[in-house]
Amino acid sequence: MNAHSDPGVSGTPVPPAGYKDAPYDVELVAVSKSYAGTIAVDTISLRIPKASYCCLLGPSGCGKSTTLRMIAGHEPVSAGDILIGDRNVTDNPPIARGTSMMFQNYALFPHMSALDNVAYSLKVRGVPKDERRARAREFLDLVQMGQYAERPPALLSGGQQQRVALARALITRPRVLLLDEPLSALDPFLRERMRGELKRLQRELQISFVHVTHSQDEAMALADLVVVMEAGHIRQAAPARDIFEKPNTAFVARFIGGHNVVPGGNGSIAVRADRCRIGSSADQARLTGHVSSVEYLGALVRVGLIGDNGLEAAALISDRTFFAAPVEPGQAAALTWSDEDAHALAD
Ligand code: ADP
C-alpha cells in the first residue's frame, strides 16, 4: 500500500498527512498520577518512535491502564507532559489529541448496526452522512467485517464485535491507537488470531499502537517496544529481544519468564532456562539439588529443579536431548550453564 496518499473512500485508509516530521508518536515527560495519596504512576518518561507497536507490560496494579488513560486524556496528569507527535496535548480533551481508544468491553451501541457504530465517531465530528457511511464501509472492510455492516452487536460474536470496535477507533485516523487489554475477553484460539490481525493493521496503517497487557507472550509476540512496569515505575523499555536477552533487574527477568535468577559474585545473575542443561556430574554443576518437576511441552521439556540451598530453577531442553537421558522427579540432578550465558542484574 501507499502510506503517503489519502485514498478517500477506496483503498487502504491512512492517517492524515502533517504528522510525519516528529520522530516520536508519543512522548511522556516525567508523568505522574496520584489518587488521594496513592501514587499510581511515578515520574515516568518514555519515547515511542513513529509507527511502533508498543506494549505496556506488568502485573496488575502497576499503573499500565492509568498511563494509557492519561495518554488518551481520560485522566488528567498530576504532573508532567504528554506529547503526541510534536504537540503538547497535556491539557487537550481526548478528541483533540490525535489518539483513539479501544475499550476492553468494546462499548458498542446495542441499538445501532455495525456500520452506524463505526460511522458514529465521524457523526460527532460533523462529517456529512453519505461520506461517513462510505468511510465506515471502508473501515469495516479493513477489519474484514464488510458483510456484517447491517447487523447489531447482539448478532455478532465477541471477536466480530471487537473488529467493529477496532474499525470505530481507527476511522478517526488517529496517530496513536490505545488498546486496554484488547485480547483478554477472547478465547485462546481467537486471541492468537486477533493478535496477528492487530499487528497486520498496525503495519498497514503505519501508526503507533499502545497496547496494555499483563501477558508476556502477547507483548513478546507483538511489540517493537516492550515497556515493563512495576509499582508505578518503568523498569525497562526496549525491543522484546533485548528485554529477553538482557533483562536489567531480577524483577524483569522473573516477570518476563524463561529465566533463572540465582546469586552471583556481586548480586544476582540471570540465565535463560533454555541455555541451562541438566547433568549429574557435580564437578561442573552450578546448582545441585533434585528434580522437582518434568513438563512435556512438545518440542521442549521443562525440567524443574530445587537446589540443596532451596533455590528453584528450571532447564528448558529439547525433547531429543531430554529423552536421550531422561530424569524423573525426586532424582538427584545438577544444573549447568556456560559463563557467557549468565547475565549480571542490577539488583
Ligand atoms: P494496571 O492497569 O497496571 O492494573 P492501574 O493503572 O489500573 O494498574 O492502577 C494503578 C494503581 O492506581 C493501583 O494501585 C490502583 O488501585 C490505583 N488506581 C487506579 N485507578 C484509581 C482510581 N480511580 N482511584 C484510586 N486509585 C486508583
Q: So what's the pLDDT on residue 199? A: 95
24-243 and 258-344 in the same fold: no
Residue 185 CB coordination number (10 Å): 15
Tally of residues, the chain = 347
Write the burial class of residue 234 (CB in 10 Å: 0-12 exposed, 13-18 middle, 19+ buried).
Answer: buried
User: What does CATH list as the number for 258-344?
Assistant: 2.40.50.100
Q: Which residues of the chain have pLDDT under 70?
A: 1-21, 280-284
Q: So what's the pLDDT on residue 280? A: 62
Ligand 1 pocket residue status of 176, Cβ below 6 Å: no
Ligand 1 pocket residue status of 65, Cβ below 6 Å: yes
Q: So what's the pLDDT on residue 37? A: 85
H or E stretch at 342: strand 342-344
Nearest alpha carbon, ligand 1 atom 15: 61
The structural domains of the chain, with segments of one domain joined by +, span 24-243, 258-344
The residue with cell 501514587 is 39
Ligand 1 pocket residue status of 113, Cβ below 6 Å: no
Note the pTM of the prediction, 2 decimals: 0.89
Q: So what's the pLDDT on residue 142? A: 92
Ligand 1 pocket residue status of 179, Cβ below 6 Å: no
Nearest atom within ligand 1 for CA of residue 229:
3
- pLDDT, tens digit (0-9, with 9 covering 90-100), for 96-115: 999 999 987 778 999 999 99
Ligand 1 pocket residue status of 213, Cβ below 6 Å: no
> Which among 199, 189, 122 is positioned nearest to 157, based on CA atoms?
189
Q: So what's the pLDDT on residue 283? A: 53
Sheet holding 176-180, edge to edge: 99-102, 176-180, 208-213, 53-57, 225-230, 233-238
Ligand 1 pocket residue status of 59, Cβ below 6 Å: no
Q: 233: helix, coil or strand?
A: strand
Nearest alpha carbon, ligand 1 atom 14: 61
* Topology at the third CATH level for domain 24-243: Rossmann fold (3.40.50)
Q: So what's the pLDDT on residue 16? A: 47
Ligand 1 pocket residue status of 40, Cβ below 6 Å: yes
